[in-house]
Structure 1
């Protein structure tokens, strides 16, 4: 799950770079949402990865 989270956060950062630079103005809001969603997922997966069952 950590691997998927890292992959999606990289995609969100790339989408953010394109969206914030004016290349695709419509993608900027989507990139912001994806960025924060995947930051939260990344932190949750780090916390769950360290927990022992």
Structure 2
């Protein structure tokens, strides 16, 4: 079987370093994936959200 790869993109309106529920959920998913020798976390940079059209 090939190497398992995954990426978790959690979007939040909270600025760093404040934790968010999206980050918590992402960490839980990655913790489960670590059982399959996969573990990596990348947090998206906080930015100004634009209104939807």
Q: Which has the larger radius of gyration?
A: 2
TM-score, normalisation: structure 2: 0.40
Which of the two has greater helix per residue? 1
TM-score, normalisation: structure 1: 0.40
